[in-house]
């Protein structure tokens, strides 16, 4: 049976409306899942009622994570936040973990997960993190921007069977101090954390790059979506 995957919506400040990049949906569909965009402005209880019918959770990219979620005040270089997402996504994540539903976090998703476990973030990499890597690439996004080194023996290594892959990159925040509960699975050449997992759960994995932009041309991105959807079937 095709698993139903809950997808957290993106938010358009100008239009005051939810929206979605097709890559998130198509990546799930091509891996055999049924993606469902969750509401954002409904009461939490209503959203959780919808989530009860789902088999997994995809935490998408988008707005900056509110620094208040990791105990900091917002600095000038921090980008726009989305109070709607900052409110409902922690509730959804907690429900998924409690019910042993697989979770895949992408970009903002990895940052949110780290913050929820007590880790913190660079609010703005260009001003807070010294690196020769440009982590915020220009279009097209389906190409390699830099490389990441995968920890041998990690779930990501077991999945991809390689210690180094090329990834795209479109973010200006990043993981600073990684929460103790999380296991670092990959880092960029500048040391920035690029992938984590929750070791004691069936499937809680998050990456800083964007497999939704290049899964059609990149086998590693397809494998990530496929592993997530397959975990949701069990």
Catalytically annotated residues: 107, 210, 212
Name every residue whose Cβ is closer than 8 Å to that of residue 142 and which is 6 or more positions away in sequence: 168, 213, 214, 216, 217, 218
**DSSP tag of 140:** P
Strands (E) located in 113-176: 121-122, 146-150, 164-167, 174-175
Q: Are the C-beta atoms of 151 and 185 separated by less than 8 Å?
A: yes
Closest of 234, 225, 229 to residue 33, by C-alpha:
229
Closest of 173, 165, 171, 130 to residue 149, by C-alpha:
165
**DSSP tag of 154:** S
CA 119, 11, 114: angle at the middle one, nearest 5?
10
What are the tokens at 108?
């903002």
- For residue 140, cis peptide bond before it (omega within 30 degrees of 0): yes
CA 24, 28, 31: angle at the middle one, nearest 5?
145
CA–CA distance, 72 with 95 (Å, rounded to integer)? 25
Q: Are the C-beta atoms of 7 and 37 separated by less than 8 Å?
A: yes
């Amino acid at each position: 049976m095709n698993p139903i995957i809950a997808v957290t919506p993106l938010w358009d400040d100008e239009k005051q409306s939810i929206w979605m990049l097709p890559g998130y949906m198509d990546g799930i569909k091509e891996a055999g899942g049924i993606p469902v965009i969750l509401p954002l402005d409904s009461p939490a209880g209503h959203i959780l009622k919808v989530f009860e019918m789902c088999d997994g959770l995809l935490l998408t990219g988008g707005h900056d994570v509110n620094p208040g979620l990791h105990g900091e005040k917002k600095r000038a270089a921090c980008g726009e936040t989305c109070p709607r997402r900052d409110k409902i996504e922690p509730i959804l994540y907690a429900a998924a973990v409690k019910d042993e539903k697989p979770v895949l976090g992408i970009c903002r998703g990895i940052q949110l997960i780290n913050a929820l476990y007590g880790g913190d973030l660079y609010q703005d990499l260009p001003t807070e993190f010294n690196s020769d890597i440009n982590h915020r690439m220009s279009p097209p996004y389906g190409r390699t921007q830099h490389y990441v080194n995968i920890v041998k023996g990690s779930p990501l290594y077991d999945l991809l069977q390689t210690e180094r892959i090329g990834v795209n990159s479109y973010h200006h925040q990043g993981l600073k101090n990684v929460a103790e509960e999380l296991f670092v699975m990959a880092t960029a050449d500048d040391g920035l954390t690029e992938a984590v997992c929750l070791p004691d759960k069936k499937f809680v994995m998050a990456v800083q790059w964007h497999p939704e932009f290049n899964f059609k041309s990149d086998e590693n991105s397809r494998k990530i979506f496929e592993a997530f959807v397959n975990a949701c079937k069990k």
